[in-house]
Structure 1
Amino acid sequence: MLVALAGIIFPILPGSPVAIITMIAWAWIIGSTASWATGIVAAALALMGWSASLVLTGRTMRRERIPNTPILIATAAAIVGLFVIPFFGIFIGFALGLFGAEYYRRRDAMAAFRSSLEALKAMGIGMLVELGCIITAIAVFGVGVLIHFLTAA
């Protein structure tokens, strides 16, 4: 579950899919009613956060008319930034890569800045929603583990 949290903050690993797989795998391995109820509810919360993040970000990208190419360029710049500036480089690289790609596409610095800022805000809000859902899923998981072991004893 900690890997899932890290995957949301540092999008190198897919955070929500890791959480969903972890919840269902735990429920399957334990096999109790409490574990299955917990696993399904927690996986549904993670899926809800993942979906909300994708919908919020996608809607803003369409509204700002940002195609996938600037996002791919920004992702490549984020990976380079991760190695150039440890920890913060992923965020700085993504922002600079997005602005650079938007500037190249639009040929207007202010329009590129506005669309890049809107895209970054949308992605940030999406990450916060997804993070909140994963934290709630972890809380449900913790309660489910406690219920399972209290009823098993």
Structure 2
Amino acid sequence: MLAAVLVVVGIVGIALPILPGLVLVVAGVGVWAVGRADFVAWTVLGIVVAIVLVGSVVKYLVPGRRLRDSGVPGRTIAAGAVLGVVGFFVIPVVGLFIGFVLGIYLAELARLGGHEAAWPSTRRALAAVGWSIVIEMATGLLAAAVWVGALLLT
């Protein structure tokens, strides 16, 4: 029961970034694996950990690459990251995303000198944040599906 609660709370934590969603999904599967303590459980846990590791890497690579490919400079992305971290602590739940987008906008506003020029970069940053959430959710759902599949098959 605890394993299922952790997995569900982890999935919810991805949609509402209050909690470390993927970590909770892995923790839930880990609780199940420790309780079961057999080959199937350890194999499923290994697969889930691999899925989460790959998904976590992709979650940062794809949006960052899309931003760089669209012409947003690295220092602008860094400004977004810094304000994202600040926002995380200032505004619970959504501060990371608001801070990141605000950082992109302010850096591009300073670099390009006007709203009309800075707004396209900000829109691309919003799209990157969206892709990040989609990738993380897909990762969490795939990991949970592997676990549920193991539950149903055993």
User: Is TM-score (shorter-chain normalized) higher than 0.5?
Assistant: yes
Counterpart of 1:71 (choices 68, 75, 81) is 81
1:129 is aligned to 135
Q: After the TM superposition, which residues 58-97 of structure 1 pair with which residues of structure 2 at under 5 Å, given as runs?
A: 58-63=64-69, 64-65=72-73, 66-77=76-87, 79-82=89-92, 95-96=101-102
User: In 1, distance between residues paired with 2:26 and 2:36?
Assistant: 16
2:43 counterpart of 1:30:
no
Contact (CA 8 Å) 1:42, 1:140: kept in 2 or not? yes
RMSD: 2.8
Deviates more, 1:44-53 or 1:12-21: 12-21
| Residues 89 and 130 (structure 1), Cα distance of their counterparts in 2 relative to 1, 3 Å cut | closer
Counterpart of 1:49 (choices 43, 52, 55) is 55
Relative to the length of structure 2, the TM-score reads 0.73
| Residues 115 and 78 (structure 1), Cα distance of their counterparts in 2 relative to 1, 3 Å cut | farther
Q: Structure 2 regions of 5+ residues with no counterpart? A: 1-6
